[in-house]
Amino acid sequence: DAGVIQSPRHEVTEMGQEVTLRCKPISGHNSLFWYRQTMMRGLELLIYFNNNVPIDDSGMPEDRFSAKMPNASFSTLKIQPSEPRDSAVYFCASSFGRGTAGELFFGEGSRLTVL
């Protein structure tokens, strides 16, 4: 079982550039979550999808952030334009079942550094 796959593992970019993070959930899981982790704020939920439909995007910081899930096996999180305060580790997680009621399986994260 491949687990949740995220890419890139590391991204270093300059302020103002567009960043796209990618996620492939575990096959058969129907809920997908994007989290951001920083030392100061810990793990924060940005958005979650169920059956490819966004259910709760209240954690998306601002309009610079957008997420899509065009099919059951792929999701993207885009930041445009990026800012230094966006530097963090971005985790994608998936679960089987409705919403967040079940155990989450996390990917290994994408570490973003915005200079």
Partner 1 sequence: EDKVVQSPLSLVVHEGDTVTLNCSYEVTNFRSLLWYKQEKKAPTFLFMLTSSGIEKKSGRLSSILDKKELSSILNITATQTGDSAIYLCAVLRGTTNFGNEKLTFGTGTRLTIIP
* Cβ neighbours for 101, distance < 8 A, ≥ 6 positions apart: none
CA distances from 61 to 6, 29, 64 (A): 21, 26, 8
Applying CB under 8 A, among 11, 86, 107, 112 the residue interacting with partner 1 is: 107
**Near partner 1 in 18-57, by CB under 8 A:** 35, 41-45, 50, 55-56
Q: Binding partner 1 by CB under 8 A: which of 2, 28, 62, 101?
A: 101
Identity of the residue, 74 or 105, whose beta carbon is nearer to partner 1 in the bound complex: 105
CB nearer partner 1, residue 35 or residue 65 = 35
Residue in 32, 47, 91, 94 binding partner 1, rule: CB under 8 A: 91
Contact 114, 87 (CB under 8 A): yes
DSSP 85: G
Closest approach, Cβ 47 to partner 1, in A, equals 12
Q: How far apart are CA 78 and CA 95, in angstroms?
A: 22
